[in-house]
Amino acid sequence: MSTAPTAVSDSIAAPGIFTGDDMALTPRRGPLQRAGRIARRQPLGVIGLFVILALVLTAVFAPLLAPYDPTSTQFKSLRKPNATNFFGTDDKGRDIFSRVIHGSRTSLEVGIIATVVGVVGGAVVGLLSGYFGGWTDTIIQRVMDALMAFPVLILALIMIAVVGSSIRNLMVVVGIAITPLIGRVVRGAVLTEKQNAYIEAARTIGSTPGRILLRHILPNLAAPLIVIATGLLAGAILVEASLSFLGLGTPPPTPSWGADLSGQARRFFVHAPWMAVFPGVALSLVVLGFNLLGDSLRDILDPRMRGR
């Protein structure tokens, strides 16, 4: 007696034929697997991400992590690192560990807001200059050339000398100083994008310039803007530390890594090196973390780098 072949026997007898059930059983790569694959390909980026996450958590929970008030002078000055003061004390008797913890909040706050100001301002300037061209492009680019004629730190010093030293002014000044860098990159990308056929199609159907810029061109610039912003955030933190080091940044006694490396404290670095080592190491690790993450994001988001 013969029996009709079942679906299982058919699939076994004809291994080259795949049924819907076979496709359903094919494992799909989930988010965790994709994240693991990216982590294996970009280990340095993972290290940078962990450093940044540690910075963010430290800044958010600084009042809980710091054992003492960072502005209090309750201890003996120039104490070596010990069980009570993990990083020792400075020349004014303040706990360095607490100041390093709270200094992360200052650096992150200034860096993020300054980068947002620079990215938004640079994106607006670059979009208008690249899309409209003509006199608009000429005037904007001459202003950008004048700003870029000065190094970022020198330009920030000039503006701080004019508007005065405060945390709010520092954020705005650093943001304005990095705006030309963003504007040039965005302008070049817009000049390339507006030659594409989809922009001509949008113009043909009557789309306004504002709609074309916001709905068609700007989304295509998201990836390079993220990469540039990550790198510039590290630069903004360095500029803040440099201005504070020169006495024109975060006003005392607000904790700041740059401020803790400046002023009269420099006279004690030879006899109390821990005053310079711990704020300097914290600043170096944060800048390194942002640079590592920025390089990895460039490799991930830039199609030209994926083949590497």
pLDDT tens per residue, range 57-85 = 999 999 999 999 999 888 898 999 999 99
Q: Is the pLDDT of residue 220 over 60?
A: yes
Q: Is the pLDDT of residue 304 over 80?
A: no
CA 149 to CA 83: how far, in whole Å?
A: 50
Q: What residues have CB less than 8 Å from 120, skipping those under 6 apart? A: none
List Cα–Cα distances, 292 to 46, 69, 106, 238, 289, in angstroms: 8, 33, 21, 15, 5
Q: Is the pLDDT of residue 24 over 70?
A: no
- In the structure encoding, which two tokens stand for residue 240, read together? 């803040």
Note the pTM of the prediction, 2 decimals. 0.79
Name the DSSP class of 169: H
Contact (Cβ atoms closer than 8 angstroms) between residue 100 and residue 278: yes
- In the structure encoding, which two tokens stand for residue 261, read together? 């490396």
Of the pLDDT bands very low, low, confident and very high (cuts 50, 70, 90), residue 263 is: low
Q: Domains along the chain?
A: 57-67+86-305 (1.10.3720.10)
Contact (Cβ atoms closer than 8 angstroms) between residue 240 and residue 114: yes
CA 99 to CA 94: how far, in whole Å?
A: 8
Radius of gyration of the chain (CA): 27
| Cα angle value 142/158/289 (rounded, 5°) | 90
Q: Can the peptide bond before residue 253 be classed as cis, meaning omega within 30 degrees of 0?
A: yes
Q: What percent of the chain has pLDDT over 70?
A: 86
CA 288 to CA 128: how far, in whole Å?
A: 34
Task: Count helices and strands (H / E) in the chain.
Answer: 15, 0
